[in-house]
Amino acid sequence: MEPLNGALRRSRVYAVLSRGFLYPEPSLLRELRGGALARALRAYLPRGGYALAKQAQAALDGPGERESEYNALFAGQAVPCPLYETEYTGAHVWMQTQQMADVAGFYRAFGVDVEGERPDGLATELEFMSLLCLKEAVARADGDREAAAICRDAQARFLREHLGRWLPKLVTRLERLDPGGFYHALSRLADWYVRHDAERLSDVPAAEQQAAAAGGAASEEEG
């Protein structure tokens, strides 16, 4: 049951992190303030991450208006700190277009269609990781080792090729623009968790990879 429970825990962490980077409407702030953010993560974060979660909670509950902070950092015509991957990894417009298409390709492969917004937004990418982890949990509950391994491989590749590439750059920029602020603290937590999770995923048991490969080979033979 541990792999199944682990996938569910990881899904929950990514879901909470995603909500933290949404626009801080009053209803969302009421949901996360007063220790609720840290409590939502306490049961799911590995040791070391909870200290960062408490720092983010303290910054969230501290003085200042989160809506004005969000707008000053992430909104407006001249955005000082974009919450979009390709603003940090695409040196040219054509590179940005190509990278966004790659992100959207990940989504489509798992039945996700993003409409009305850019696919490379941080909250969207974190939510997608939550979905991948949930799909892994469902596959494990169904006893489908091949599908679970496919989900794990997609998670590892998405972190390596996307979230893990640009989150450190976001943290660096927020460290300059928002030192001690909630969004800087939350970005540090997200970056720590992505690095921790990527390391875990790199240690996927060889038996799972072999099961996925065997399943694929069997399908080809049947076809």
- The CA-CA-CA angle for residues 153, 158, 160, to 5°, reads 95
pLDDT at position 204, please? 57
Write out pLDDT tens, residues 169-188.
Answer: 999 999 999 999 999 999 99
Q: Where exactly are the structural domains of the chain?
A: 2-222
63 by Cβ neighbours in 10 Å (0-12 / 13-18 / 19+) ranks as exposed
Closest to 81 (Cα-Cα) out of 182, 174, 179, 180: 174
How much is the mean pLDDT over the chain? 90
**How many CB atoms lie under 10 A from the CB of residue 56?**
26
pLDDT score of 46:
83
Rounded CA gap, 186 and 119, in Å?
A: 21
Per-residue pLDDT band for 209 (boundaries 50, 70, 90) equals very low
Say what the pLDDT of residue 154 is.
Answer: 97
Please state, as a whole number, how many other Cβ atoms lie within 10 Å of the Cβ of residue 145: 18
* Amino acid identity at 128: F
Q: The domain 2-222 belongs to what CATH superfamily?
A: TorD-like (1.10.3480.10)
